[in-house]
Structure 1
Amino acid sequence: MPSSVAVIVGSTRPGRIAGNVAEWVHRVASKRPEVEYEVVDLAEWNLPLYDEEIPAAVGQYAGEHTRRWAEKIASFDGFVVVTPEYNHAPSAAVKNAFDFVYAEWRDKAIGFVSYGGAGGVRAVEQLKLVAVEVGLAPVSAQLALPIAADFPGYPAFTPQPSREDELTRVLDQVESWSQALATVRA
């Protein structure tokens, strides 16, 4: 059975551009036959602000929305998160999605595609700390998309020609680390 990687759309804001970026990531990734990629749009999950009484690390999920989210996250071997940078930070929606579950993230690889005024790198710095805390293995490759360069007709997304090669490095690392960590998960 091939590995599976989620491309998480890390914004729920009306008028967001994360969906366009995630669809581009998915189109590029889908050309890779060894791994199945699936877009997971946080806007479709409609997770409330973290509302579990017991911490996620305990693994006792009370909410039906949490149990469904846990099942979804558990079904993947790795992740590529497409995140905006709002005020030097990731969106609240993507941080909230991390907080809902714990064990389901563990021992899996994660890569980041970010966008913003400075390419979203500060958002990713913060998300890497969160990822490590829940037991994910962030890869070193990252794709940062500055608004001025990759969204010249904002909000239209027009990636620079080199971006596909940069994305390929992220995908290569997520795939190889996902496969390596399969033995740890077993």
Structure 2
Amino acid sequence: MSKPKIALVIGSTRANRFADKPAEWFAKIASQRSDIDLEVIDLRDFPMPFFDEAGSSAYVPSKSEVAQRWQKKVAEFDGYIFTAAEYNRGPTAVLKNALDYAYTEWKHKAAGFVGYGGVGGARAVEQLRLHAVELQMAPVRNGVHIVWADMAQVMDGSKKLEEFEHLNQAANTLLDDIAWWAKALKSAREASAAEQSSKAA
């Protein structure tokens, strides 16, 4: 079985977003591992309109060309890690919108989160975990939570994320979880597909 392919989805599109810093830092840590292949996916490259389809893509094909392109991209991966900014105790609208624009592509795949904000994005991440479950993803237990005190030092240039050992440890623990679950679920999906194929033969 090939290595699981993991997407690191940048979940903010604001011009002055903080998300680029954790995405770059996390991708660098992931690049040192041999058990997964990680690709950074930027929602800026998929400027989907706010959901305005006749129904979920689980039942009705999306008319938006960008949404179709997004769905094809999402389908390439065995698991996902989302950067999660916290706005007013919830995730960004653009990330929730991106989740809503796919369905079957998320199914039976691992999900993890790199949150940031006043309480490390914890409240946004908890909401996203519920969305992930509804989309039939398997959110892992461990995550990364970059609290405001750490963010402030990164934003003013006095420190870099890699200088916070507790964050480096959290990132590796999250990657351990994602790698294990992505491999297990990939094996299960392949076994299920083989079983369905044999029944159809």
* Bucket of the pairwise TM-score, normalised by the shorter protein: over 0.9
Larger helix fraction of residues: 2
**Counterpart position of 2:108:** 107
CA distance in 2, matches of 1:19, 1:45: 16
**Counterpart position of 2:165:** 161
After superposition, the CA RMSD in angstroms is 1.4
Does the CA-based 8 Å contact 1:17-1:155 persist in structure 2? no
Q: TM-score, normalization: structure 2?
A: 0.88
Residues 1:43 and 2:44 aligned together: yes
CA distance in 1, matches of 2:186, 2:41: 21
**Counterpart position of 1:175:** 179
Residues 1:70 and 2:65 aligned together: no
CA distance in 2, matches of 1:150, 1:13: 17
Does the CA-based 8 Å contact 1:84-1:123 persist in structure 2? yes
Larger strand fraction of residues: 1
Does the CA-based 8 Å contact 2:3-2:183 persist in structure 1? no
Q: Which string of whole-angstrom CA distances, capped at 9 and with x for unpartnered residues, describes residues 80-128 of structure 1?
A: 1111001100000110000001000000000111000111000000000
Residue 38 of structure 1 deviates from its aligned partner by 0.4
CA distance in 2, matches of 1:136, 1:179: 14
**Counterpart position of 1:14:** 15
Once the two structures are aligned, what percentage of the paired residues are identical? 38
Q: 1:101 to 1:66 in 2, by over 3 A?
A: same
**Counterpart position of 1:82:** 83
Tell me whether 166-175 or 54-63 shows the greater mean CA deviation. 54-63
**Counterpart position of 2:122:** 121
**Counterpart position of 2:145:** 144
Matched AA of 2:178 = V
Residue 34 of structure 1 deviates from its aligned partner by 2.2
CA distance in 1, matches of 2:18, 2:27: 14
Runs in 1 of length 4+ with deviation above 4 angstroms? Answer: none
**Counterpart position of 1:135:** 136
Matched AA of 1:171 = L
Structure of larger gyration radius: 2
Unaligned runs of at least 5 residues, structure 1:
none
Tell me whether 174-183 or 121-130 shows the greater mean CA deviation. 174-183
Tell me whether 158-167 or 120-129 shows the greater mean CA deviation. 158-167
CA distance in 2, matches of 1:66, 1:48: 8
Tell me whether 84-93 or 60-69 shows the greater mean CA deviation. 60-69
Residue 139 of structure 1 deviates from its aligned partner by 0.2
CA distance in 1, matches of 2:53, 2:31: 35
